[in-house]
A and B are shown apart, each in its own frame.
Chain A
Amino acid sequence: MSDVVRVLGQRFIAAVPILLVVSMLLFAVLRMIPVDPLALSVPPNATIEEIDKIRHDMGFDRPIAVQYVVWLQNTVHLDFGRSIQHRDSVAGLIAETLPATIELALFAIVIASALGLAGGLYLFHLRGRPGEVVADLASTAIMSLPEFLWGLLFILLFGVALDWLPFIGRLSPAFSRPVHSGFLLIDALIDRRFDIFFDALKHMILPAFALGLSFSPPIMRVLRSSLHDVYAEDYIQQARLRGIGEWRILVRHATKNAILPTLTLMGVQFSFLFGGTLLIEVIYSYPGMGNLMVEAVRNADLPVTQAVGLVYCIAVLFINAVVDAIYLVLNPKLRRR
């Protein structure tokens, strides 16, 4: 346990300089753009003096380095400024949308892991059999369609043609959203509104499956190839000689070692997956951070773009740290004695 705390601590310390550079990058990149942030927040009939006053109030007349330090100070205190188009505080907008995105991403991660691990075991099981080519081709095919195109195909098939599942938003309009934590599924349970819980769950099935499915093939493939490597080792042969059944060898002996490289890949995959929620949210009109980001980019809403970009980075670093910790738990060789 103390090892886990140590790794998380190390990761946290390593994340600070990265986030600092990321914040500089975000600030610099977004100040480079040819849009004058003032032009969007000043009424068209403002006089030069008024504009200068606003420019001074907002700090745009100061050197860029000073502007960065001020921005960073505010950011550390979770004050991301006000959105140019919504006129709301950016922190509030993020607090509203982030739980929805996390909920969706977690659901998708569960699906991607289940499909990826089961698929990897199955692919390995098929080795040397005629079905291998077909299964191989199928995994390449799944991988060749990005998540948002899977999302659109699911809408066509399960939403429009079969009319099984809803595909717009987070909740049917008939329900009013319970607000406690922002996580809809949890909030519904707090209020004991199981009808709302299942309605929200139904809304999440298509987007989460589209995401999960498209991120599962690499997991399948790495699991299979590391199972191949593990099976070349003597201890598997030895287990066979001891008369242990093939299934038990696969699940209890081989997978324990083969899971480790797979886990490394899953860390990368899941940080990509968290970014993948963006397009899925756009397609399913899901009120998460992705839609907020796309809207902000379209409207040159810099404070929102900067803050949301930063939150995505923090999420990626967090996911990597968690995967590292799990890796440590599962790999006894790394534990300190």
Chain B
Amino acid sequence: MSTVRVNGVDLHVQVLTPTGVADPPTAVLLHGLATDSMASWYFTMAYPLVERGFRVVLLDLRGHGRSERPALGYALGDFVDDLDGLLDGPGPFLLLGNSFGGTVAFAYAARHPGKVSGVVSIESSPPTPVWFARLTNRLSQLAEAVSRPRTLVAVGAKRGARGTQRAQEAARLLAETSVREELPASRLPSRAQLQAITCPVLCLYGDRSHVVEMAPETQRLMPQAALRVFTGQKHSLLVDQPEDVRAAITSWMRTARLGGHDA
């Protein structure tokens, strides 16, 4: 089925395979923290990649979506271990990450530079101390927001009972697991390890999101990175502007000569 046991945790995984392609390259789609799930990729980039001849792997990160939510194990390294356990074979893998998912992608690439053919980062940053300080802040703000009954009432009015349930699960991730302690205390890759990521990199940002402030440091660490800033867009760029995101990624893939073909 669609549950895979990795590192002692049941992860919700979906694999989409192109028809009639022998030995297709693999693309892995990684979502963001707390309220996000594989769905934001599934309805935006998953099929366009299958049509380009990729085998597409989507997962719900531990503690998220329909994956198991263990009480402990939320340091950056735990998320990278899960990816390591899931991706067997020599690769190379094309990694696409939204928000925190992009950070996991860069961390995997820092651990296995030879196994990654490219990284697409949407509204994200490599795992640097400055970025982790921001993530820590963001986790506190989110924890505070979802602990207010008023927030749940507002979500319920907009998205119904099931939406409220999902918001409550994000609240439980923040309240009942170690994520707020372990993630900020994560051991981060060194600058040298991040600089050793030499594969093609594409970073997409919305100009109304503060994440774009991470762009200069990303460019210093990875001078090969192509950057695109979308006017008028927020942190929810992927979900809000799927067509523009799709166009930017496919044209970059063509330039970077990354596997797959034009559909």
Chain A partners chain B: no
